[in-house]
């Protein structure tokens, strides 16, 4: 959504709208690296970089971004060893956004970043039961019994793990492709589910969170979530531990 530049500056707390107009007219405001002196200029808080007197202006609006995380990136805002992190994939002015949940370094796929704590809580706390889908390439042939066991629940390193759904998509003697759906985000849960069965996940990709799919988003690229997408994610209120309907 685009708004007039002076309104954006006022809402960001830079100055009143009238004082912001003076800043623009005096050539003290840049948008995407270019000085702007026209009061009718409009900006998009989610996509445009705005500076006042050489300093970035961070919108107070809540931001929601989807990234197709490549392998080798950490799901964190900083790293003491200076390894690659997901915020490296974003414009510099959005480096304050934090990941919603995690994907381990060797996993890839859909992850959200935001500055909205309520959004993060809603998508990561088990009581809301927001489902996540994964595509796992597993070494060896995955027997049907393995899928039944990980859906029933297994204990691994003193913790109960369970997939809501698991189905074999393709298989040969060397590898199997399995699609899984989880309601919780326990640390390395998909990999640990297969480890409990003596199997190794060679590649893991998260393909969907709630109703939002990875779709055609290229690896390493990002896009802003729409208002409708954010509302759809926040509307999920079914607790993961709610009583399940009886089998019929």
**Residue 79 among the catalytic residues:** no
Residue from 119, 122, 82, 83 nearest 104 by CA: 83
Asked if 110 contacts 214 with a C-beta cutoff of 8 angstroms, the reply is yes
Look up residue 29 and give its two tokens.
């405001």
d(CA 191, CA 3): 45
Look up residue 228 and give its two tokens.
């409708």
d(CA 192, CA 212): 25
φ and ψ at 83, to 5 degrees? -80, 165
Residue recorded with tokens 């003076």:
22
d(CA 176, CA 201): 9
Residue from 59, 62, 49 nearest 115 by CA: 62
Catalytic residue among 44, 79, 88, 104: 104
CA distances from 148 to 4, 33, 140, 144, 153 (A): 56, 56, 17, 6, 9
What is the set of active-site residues? 104
């Amino acid at each position: 959504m685009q708004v007039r530049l002076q309104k954006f500056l006022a809402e960001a707390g830079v100055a009143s709208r009238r004082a912001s107009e003076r800043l623009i007219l005096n050539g003290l405001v840049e948008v995407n690296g270019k000085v702007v002196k026209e009061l009718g200029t409009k900006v998009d808080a989610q996509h445009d970089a705005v500076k006042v007197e050489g300093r970035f202006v961070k919108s107070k609006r809540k931001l929601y971004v989807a990234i197709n995380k490549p392998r080798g990136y950490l799901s964190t805002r900083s790293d003491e060893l200076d390894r690659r992190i997901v915020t490296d994939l974003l414009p510099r002015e959005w480096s304050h956004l934090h990941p919603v949940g995690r994907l381990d370094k060797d996993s890839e796929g859909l992850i959200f970043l935001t500055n909205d704590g309520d959004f993060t809580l809603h998508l990561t706390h088990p009581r809301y039961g927001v489902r996540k889908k994964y595509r796992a390439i597993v070494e060896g042939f995955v027997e049907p019994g393995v899928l039944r066991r990980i859906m029933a629940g297994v204990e691994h390193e003193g913790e109960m793990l369970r997939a809501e759904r698991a189905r074999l998509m393709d298989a040969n003697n060397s590898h199997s492709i399995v699609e899984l759906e989880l309601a919780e985000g326990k640390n390395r849960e998909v990999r640990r589910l297969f480890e409990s069965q003596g199997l190794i996940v060679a590649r893991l990709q998260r393909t969907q969170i709630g109703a939002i799919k990875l779709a055609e988003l290229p690896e390493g690229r990002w896009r802003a979530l729409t208002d409708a997408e954010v509302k759809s994610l926040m509307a999920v209120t079914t607790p993961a531990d709610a009583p399940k309907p009886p089998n019929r």
